[in-house]
Structure 1
Amino acid sequence: MIERLEAQMRAMQMLSKTQDITADNLANINTPGFKGNKVFYQMVKEQVDGKEVTRTVPMQQVDMTQGVLEATDNKFDFAIKGEGFFMVEGQNGRQLTRDGRFSIDTDGYLVDGNGGRVIGNSGPINMPDYIKASGRNNKSAEIEVATDGTIRIDEEVFDKIMTVEVKDTSRLERQGSNYFAVREEQLVEDHSSSIMQGYYEKGNVNPLNEMVDMMKTVKMFESQQRAIRTTDEMLSQATSKLGQF
């Protein structure tokens, strides 16, 4: 009877974790470049009171499904079509992101919304020439970024935005501010993705699917609650009858 209660409690904890993941996906529906979490369940073995028991635990993996590309006509907005990532350098070192809404800071660096410097073939991309040319002869310098990431300023090659792929996306670790981290040995140069200038990628969360999943989880949680109450009543009755002898 006690083992049944423990199993039902673990099931409720698992469902609670699943609900947290779904809630996080829904909270980031409007976050550019956001990649939702897919939930799956894995059987694990562990030692409990000297006995080997098997239980199911919820696991999460980044859903790399392509998000919709939204046109902005902003020459510093970039979207990746494919499974690559931009690499940026901030206070916590180099991290990965799919959010390509960039700008030029006061020092001439191409940066993301958090001030992280976007990495190119030569390191952090710095465009002092672009800044100087912006007011020359009342004509702004023209910046174009090809689908392979090559940056041209006034038709001259300047640098190339680096994109990388992750060998095993299940090893991606979510960081704050829509960043990801992964061990360096998991990174490879990205040759299959395309960079789209003047676009940004919307989050890939489908709100309808997430709401359906949330309702299913609630129903299963309520079912486990009823099962626990039933088990508790049976245990109480058994204890009461034993007390009569």
Structure 2
Amino acid sequence: MIRGLYTSALGLSVLTKEQEITTNNLANSQTAGYKQDVLVAEAFPEMLFHRLRDPLEAGQEPPFVGQAPLGVRINSVYTDVSIGVQRQVENPLSFAVREGYFTVQTPRAERYTRKGDFSLDSEGRLVSGEGYPVLGEQGEIFLPQGSVEVDAQGRLYSEGVEIDRLRIVNPGTTWEKEAASLFRGENPQRVEEPQVRQGVIEESNVDPLRAMVDLITTLRAYEANQKVIQAIDTTLDKAVNEVGRL
């Protein structure tokens, strides 16, 4: 009976995190370049198996893991980096890529994004929607007023003269999401054929309908676990306060 409490409590913990992640995905379903997060849970038997398979020193006995209740725990949360729908827009400074990430300069350090809703600031500098300077091979990119074109490799032209090339990279080591559409990492690798498209922006890769269904499923599972805990609590109360009188 107590094991049932542990099982349901662990389930509530996982479901709470899953609800948080799904809600955040839904909130960013209209955020350009957003990549949805996905929770991976594992069952306790898998956890025990993993523990017993830990590498051992010569002659060392497998560590005693004790008895654990059946249940689940969070194994990991990863970011789904699949490409979202690429939609045409009127802004000629909006770009999308098939492969890689744009590089922007934040107050902290260089960061990487697929959110290409760029514009010019008052100094003629190409900046992201958040105001971060977009970086090219030569550093910050300054564009003259007038027509600007970009080719598939990310080279920027004005009146036929090449100005710079967008710095587009692939993930390096320790790649992780920092904000809704920003990533950080070390040792990014330059993409030679990014297939840049002008006047196009990449939408979020969240499917709002599926996310809503997932959220409803999570809420129902949460309610079911709550009812199990309430039922066990009632049974324990009777066992303590009534059975002892017999």
Q: Is the pair's TM-score, using the shorter chain for normalization, greater than 0.5?
A: yes
1:53 and 1:125, CA in 2 relative to 1: closer, same or farther beyond 3 A?
A: farther
Using a 3 Å threshold, how does the CA distance of structure 1 residues 44 and 154 change in structure 2: closer, same or farther? farther
Q: Confirm or deny: 8 A CA contact 1:17 1:58 kept in the other structure.
A: no
8 Å CA contact 2:39, 2:74 repeated in 1:
no
1:52–1:78 CA distance, 2 compared to 1 (3 A): farther
On the 8 A contact 2:14/2:41 being kept in 1, the answer is no
Aligned residues: 226
Alignment of 1:132-147 (within 5 A): 134=145, 140=146, 142-147=147-152
Q: Once the two structures are superposed, what CA deviation does each residue of 1:26-64 show, in whole Å capped at 9, x if it has no partner? A: 111111111111222246579xxx958585215321112
1:85·1:165 contact (CA, 8 Å) conserved in 2? yes
Q: Mean alpha-carbon deviation: is it higher for 155-164 or for 171-180?
A: 171-180
Q: Deviations over 1:98-146 (max 9, x none)?
A: 111111112232111121111111122223xx1xxx3xxxxx3x31111
Given residue 209 of structure 2, which amino acid in structure 1 is its aligned partner? L
1:1-245 map, 5 Å? 1-42=1-42, 53=68, 55-57=72-74, 59-82=76-99, 84-127=100-143, 130=144, 134=145, 140=146, 142-167=147-172, 171-176=174-179, 178-182=181-185, 184-185=186-187, 187-241=188-242, 243-244=244-245
- Runs of 5+ consecutive residues of structure 1 not aligned to the other structure: 135-139
Query: What's the secondary structure of 1:193's corresponding residue?
Result: coil
Q: Secondary structure at the match of 2:76?
A: strand
1:3 deviates by: 3.5
CA change 1:177–1:17 in 2 (3 A) is: closer
Kept in 2, the 8 Å contact 1:35–1:64? The answer is yes
The answer (yes or no) to whether the contact 2:101–2:168 under 8 Å persists in 1 is yes
1:137 maps to what in 2?
none
Moved more, 232-241 or 27-36: 232-241
Q: For 1:232, give the aligned amino acid.
A: D
Shift of 1:177: 5.5
Name the aligned partner's letter for residue 149 of structure 2: E
Q: For 1:223 and 1:27, how far apart are their aligned partners in 2?
A: 25
The answer for unaligned runs of 5 or more in structure 2 is 52-64
Counterpart secondary structure, 2:192? coil
* TM-score between the two structures when normalised by the length of structure 1: 0.83
- Is the partner of 1:117 in helix, strand or coil? coil
What is the one-letter code of the residue matched to 2:148?
I
Cα distance in structure 2, aligned partners of 1:225 and 1:53: 21
1:178-226 superposed Cα distances (whole Å, 9 cap, x missing partner): 31222x13x2222353211111111111111111111111121111111
Distance in 2 (alpha carbons) for counterparts of 1:178 and 1:53: 39
Measure the CA separation in 2 of the matches of 1:11 and 1:234. Answer: 20
TM-score relative to the length of structure 2? 0.82
Aligned amino acid, residue 84 of structure 2:
G
Of all paired residues, the percent bearing the same amino acid is 29
> Relative to total residues, which structure has the larger strand share, 1 or 2?
1
Q: Secondary structure at the match of 2:245?
A: coil
Determine if contact 2:175/2:184 at 8 Å carries over to the other structure: yes
SS at the partner of 2:134? strand
Amino acid at match of 1:152: Y
Aligned structure 1 segments of 4 or more residues deviating by more than 6 angstroms: none
